[in-house]
Structure 1
């Protein structure tokens, strides 16, 4: 409310006069119609008011075009002091929004025409009354003001002139404040506008979250591995040159692969990049798991693994999206073990029957490692974003993730549904001849 009152009266006054000017084409059209039906004497006040009343519905009908609302919103935001967040963005997308914009258009033009007429008539009259005491009787008669005598009424005329000018200012200020109060009501977002804005924000947030997950898992894991390898190499630089050579080779291989993964991640942001023939394939269990385990071991973290693809016989028969998200979950778990763990990692990736029967399967990923000894645990600086990302990945596939202390160890367990067993003929089953459907 304070912002509405603090808006310059002059700008709102100009906004009203602009509305009066915009009404003139509609007023002329209504005058033509009135002349065709024989409305009578156009100098009559009643006829003029009739034409004015007929021009407003014509103006309202032309304001049903969707682009009228953004034009009105831009003018109101610039000249009426209405906060931008209270006004709708973009063209009117529904008939409810169009009718509200049409009502605003008719109100703006109608009130603006009245204020414009008063603005044209009152200032000259006020000036005349201000200088009336200095005029002769003949001049007053020529102006039609001979009812002022040469006595006290003549010297009261300037006060009447000032009163008229003050009334004009108050009228313009009141009309401007009225339009400013009604603008959010008629030009504000409708329920459909709010829903569209919420969907747009949700889509933008989903893209940002996806990019954050990919960058955290791909780049974060590589940086952790490179840091540990560099630290280990620095410690034995003078005593074990062969280990240093191996560490540098592992760092080179890790950074080269990470650059490729980073290019693939950034490609997710560009339309069509996923379909490029030369685009780097997304990492998955069947292509990149062994390399991931080798790099983790090279960084100094032992990994004891157990892999069981189940009836499929190979990770290649997993659905591509499950293979990709499972790889990222394993990558995040190993990255956390390298940064915060204190011993070997026990990794199990198995395909098993899901609880409840019905020939459904699920992929279970389980990782456990002992906590770091007291005084050697690295300080956590990532805020737990990786675990949140793994939970989001699993949730997108209808799975779950559990992470936390368990029997003196840290345990990460993820379950991803796979559908029916191969050869059952159920929805989501793998085709025996061609892999997963």
Structure 2
């Protein structure tokens, strides 16, 4: 009995009942318009003549009108907002935003017609049945009521109602609650297929998630390359300064200056990336990102000897996007060498022709394989991703006792469209 009472009058059932009555209220203007159409065909009876033919005829006219009005795109978010609150259906099963496709609009129209149609019937019952039930339950206790016009209106002059009025009235109220609960459950069952996302909505949501993931991955690469390189360079400079602290104060001063410049530059880049994360959006550009024009400063702060060989044209005179990604690739190569090759020298060759920019970095392999970091590094994978996004290639492998990082990037018009 307790479970049955909860199903008929529990919080969820009451909310759904309110939802149905709201549907009846939404149907009312359409129903009034329908009576203007139907009433002239019934000897000109007015709107409130009580003629069931007029009332149900107006109901039949109102439903198509409601369906047509729900074809507007904004009908779906309005219906979803109400159903999400009152139907007891998980919020993630509803679609977000206006209905853009005709399939979504037709589904919304179907939902609105079902909501207003069933809601109109339940709302009408909710207005008529409680007075009827109260009259039934009061009949055994009032002879005057049994002789009144109210009893005559309800056709309640049967003598047996004197003894069965209370049970009949309670049964009528219980039936109303059962009908409302059943209608509410029907709407809750139909809400996901009618107000849920269409295949087009799912495709848009998937594209949005893919775009968000791409932005997060790009920001993660920026943080990895910038902060990772800075920490490696600072570690090398600090270690070298500690070694010659007493014997070469001038070198220590230079190392501390390099550490200061590296950290200041990295903090600026970190602020830019974190600013984008705080805004929750990305316009395709990361302000303050350095390119190959800052290559000399990068090599000077590397904390190790780096020999640079440039062939062909000026490597800085490539498309801006290529210059920025090339800088990051060199930065990751220096970071990787700092982690795995100790103080060994690094050679960097940059060759540019009309179509490509080729980067080759080499450093001696360590005597012992480096200890893998927990979770593994993602820097070389990020190098490959950067090159592929530009339409180029990149890879790293041991060759003749050295570790070689190679990248080929488009330096012509193709790279200019990448941001």
State whether TM-score is above 0.5: yes
Secondary structure at the aligned position of 1:163 is classed as helix
1:346-361 maps to which residues of 2 (within 5 A)?
Answer: 346-351=347-352, 361=355
Say whether 1:200 aligns with 2:208: yes
Question: Matched residues in 2 for 1:121 and 1:236: separation?
Answer: 97
TM-score norm. by structure 2 comes to: 0.84
Say whether 1:79 aligns with 2:73: no
Question: Per-residue deviation at 1:109?
Answer: 0.9
CA RMSD of aligned residues (A): 3.0
* Residue matched to 1:363: 357
Q: Determine if contact 1:339/1:378 at 8 Å carries over to the other structure.
A: no
Question: Matched residues in 1 for 2:283 and 2:76: separation?
Answer: 34
Q: Determine if contact 1:329/1:390 at 8 Å carries over to the other structure.
A: yes
* Residue matched to 1:294: 300
Question: Per-residue deviation at 1:325?
Answer: 1.3
* Residue matched to 2:3: none
Question: Matched residues in 1 for 2:328 and 2:214: separation?
Answer: 18
Secondary structure at the aligned position of 2:72 is classed as coil
Say whether 1:146 aligns with 2:157: yes
Say whether 1:13 aligns with 2:17: yes
1:28-43 maps to which residues of 2 (within 5 A)?
Answer: 28-36=32-40, 41=45, 42-43=49-50
Say whether 1:323 aligns with 2:323: yes
Question: Per-residue deviation at 1:267?
Answer: 7.6
Question: Matched residues in 2 for 1:317 and 1:367: separation?
Answer: 20
* Residue matched to 1:179: 187
Q: Give a deviation string over 1:188-227, Cα, whole Å, max 9, x none.
A: 1122222222222222222222222222222321222112
Inter-CA distance 80–36: structure 2 relative to 1 (3 Å threshold): same
Question: Matched residues in 1 for 2:363 and 2:104: separation?
Answer: 59
Q: Determine if contact 2:80/2:195 at 8 Å carries over to the other structure.
A: yes
* Residue matched to 1:384: 377
Aligned partner (choices 309, 321, 338) of residue 306 of structure 1? 309
Inter-CA distance 257–205: structure 2 relative to 1 (3 Å threshold): same
Secondary structure at the aligned position of 2:301 is classed as helix
Inter-CA distance 263–131: structure 2 relative to 1 (3 Å threshold): closer
Q: Which 5+ residue runs of structure 2 have no aligned equivalent?
A: 1-6
1:211-230 maps to which residues of 2 (within 5 A)?
Answer: 211-230=219-238
How many residues are treated as equivalent by the alignment? 396
Secondary structure at the aligned position of 2:136 is classed as helix
Question: Per-residue deviation at 1:384?
Answer: 1.9
Q: Determine if contact 1:267/1:274 at 8 Å carries over to the other structure.
A: no
Question: Matched residues in 1 for 2:319 and 2:43: separation?
Answer: 78
Inter-CA distance 158–405: structure 2 relative to 1 (3 Å threshold): farther
* Residue matched to 2:345: 344
Aligned partner (choices 143, 166, 181) of residue 158 of structure 1? 166
Inter-CA distance 187–333: structure 2 relative to 1 (3 Å threshold): same
Inter-CA distance 202–272: structure 2 relative to 1 (3 Å threshold): closer
Secondary structure at the aligned position of 1:315 is classed as coil
Question: Per-residue deviation at 1:32?
Answer: 2.0
Question: Matched residues in 2 for 1:254 and 1:210: separation?
Answer: 22
Q: Give a deviation string over 1:236-268, Cα, whole Å, max 9, x none.
A: 323432221111111122233334544665687
TM-score norm. by structure 1 comes to: 0.81
Question: Matched residues in 2 for 1:230 and 1:15: separation?
Answer: 69
Aligned partner (choices 72, 85, 89) of residue 96 of structure 2? 89
Say whether 1:27 aligns with 2:31: yes
1:32-71 maps to which residues of 2 (within 5 A)?
Answer: 32-36=36-40, 41=45, 42-71=49-78
Question: Matched residues in 1 for 2:135 and 2:79: separation?
Answer: 37
Q: Determine if contact 1:39/1:47 at 8 Å carries over to the other structure.
A: no
Inter-CA distance 273–181: structure 2 relative to 1 (3 Å threshold): closer
